[in-house]
Amino acid sequence: MNTLLRRFFILAAVLLCCTALANAYDAQIDGIYYNFDKANGTATVTSGGSKYEGDITIPAKVTYESKEYIVTSIGAGAFANSYALASITIPSGVTSIGASAFYWCSNLASITIPSAVTSIGDNAFAECDKLTSVTFEEGSKLESIGASAFYKNYALTSITIPSGVTSIGASAFYQNFALASITIPSSVTSIGDNAFNDCRNLASMTFEEGSKLESIGAGAFANSYALESITIPSAVTSIGDSTFYNCSNLATVTFEEGSKLESIGAGAFA
């Protein structure tokens, strides 16, 4: 899928999401929109009638209709297209960041993700092109990084994926031009199609010892011009089509002893 078409589909999905949510909030409190689960006593930050801007601190708890609620999630599209959002502070009780939550927050420079977060949704930080720092708190419980979660984060130079993550979605770090190094924790079992495609300055790709990685998707590391060597973990059974396509400086590929590799896709090393 070409870049313009991909962008169209992402934007269409975000617009649909935001349209559905725009008037669906329960309350606006101190400039932040919320929906409330009265049965569980929890609150979700959501989108509202206006975009967020400046420095936003999400409180750990909010009071609505004389009842206190714990903020546990950032909903789909909550901050999408908030071009003037400069910074965001997320409370420790948040366990999920929804699809397109921070899509196209083009002035967001850094984010710290609380240890309680278990999932980052599709397109969550897509096209945050000034995002230079993503920090996961110590003891992170993160399990999954959604498709296109960090798509087109042009300024991001490095990221430490927490131990415990089992899946990296399709196009998760697509076109992260400045990304120079990445370490994949041993817990990851699958890397989606185009996950690191067009990471042009990716010079170091390391898999932790004891890697459980089983599959590397089509185009996962294509166009990684700076990559010179890679060691494929022994648990990998399949390498997809065009996985290392146009890695023009790749000189050495090593398969770990005891490799279980069964298939190499078309053009994998073209």
Are 163 and 142 spatial neighbours (Cβ–Cβ below 8 Å)?
no
Tell me how many helices (H) and strands (E) the chain has.
1, 22
DSSP 8-state secondary structure symbol assigned to residue 208: P
Torsion, Cα of 194, 110, 80, 39 (10° steps): 100
Q: How far apart are CA 259 and CA 212, in angstroms?
A: 12
Q: How far apart are CA 131 and CA 76, in angstroms?
A: 19
Sign, CA torsion 16/22/24/28: positive
| Segments in the chain below pLDDT 70 | 1-23
To which residue do tokens 């399990």 refer? 143
Q: Report the pLDDT value the prediction gives residue 121, as an integer from 0 to 100.
A: 98
Q: Is 223 left (phi over 0), alpha (psi -120 to 50) or beta?
A: left
Q: Report the pLDDT value the prediction gives residue 21, as an integer from 0 to 100.
A: 44
Specify the pTM: 0.91
Q: Report the pLDDT value the prediction gives residue 1, as an integer from 0 to 100.
A: 54
Q: Report the pLDDT value the prediction gives residue 4, as an integer from 0 to 100.
A: 55
